[in-house]
Amino acid sequence: MSTETARIEAFSDGVFAIAITLLILEIKIPMPGSIPLSLQLLRQWPSYVAFLISFAFIGIMWINHHRLFTHIRRADNTLLVLNLLLLLGVTAVPFPTAVLAAHLGKPEQKTAAMVFSGTYFFIAIFFNMLWRYAASRNGHLLSSEVNLNSALHISRQYAVGPLLYLICFGLAMVSVMASLAMNLALAAFFALPPKYAAGRPRAGDMAGVR
């Protein structure tokens, strides 16, 4: 970890850790009563689904943030602001998770799924802004030893994120389960190393990361 980005990475890691921990608070402890414990636990299935999806998403976002900062070795004020915007999205994740858990399987589930997917749409935009700024102007914030092919793969993988999450948002109006399934597929896609997810770089992609 370079000294110039060390505080950014340490602060970001703390935010990711807190956000991912807060997710479990939405799973309530069943209280003793007339309803069997097993039934109470089964009735919380929407909370389990929302928790697992968001846990995976935040974990994968942390992996991608780590990947970015293996290339980013310098920082300026704009990069700091863009990183904060990304963390703003990360800290918001427990809220749409709670909304989805409360309404999944109920009449307002489509709205809840739209809020859920919309949150990740904006996070995908912030990821793109952060990376593309760092790689702009001949990669002025990237390490001098950066692997050009790796940088190109990241750019190509991230480029499709906002569009695909926007599709998830629209799909929620038609089918909540299909929207959540696509969200999970996207999580798997972004968990892949960029060189496997992005395919072969095109010549036109070379601009902005040299």
Rg (CA), the chain: 19
Note the pLDDT of residue 31. Answer: 85
Q: Which residues contact 125 (CB under 8 A, 6 or more apart)?
A: 162
pTM of full prediction above 0.95: no
Note the pLDDT of residue 30. Answer: 86
Note the pLDDT of residue 26. Answer: 80
d(CA 89, CA 123): 5
Note the pLDDT of residue 205. Answer: 45
d(CA 91, CA 24): 14
Note the pLDDT of residue 28. Answer: 85
d(CA 93, CA 58): 8
The parts of the chain modelled with pLDDT lower than 50 are 201-210
Reference 42, options 55, 52, 27, 53; nearest CA is: 27
Q: Nearest 5°: CA angle at 87, between 193 and 80?
A: 95
Note the pLDDT of residue 204. Answer: 44
* Cβ atoms of residues 155 and 207 within 8 Å: no
Tell me whether residue 145 is exposed, middle or buried, using C-beta atoms within 10 angstroms of its C-beta: 0 to 12, 13 to 18, 19 or more: exposed
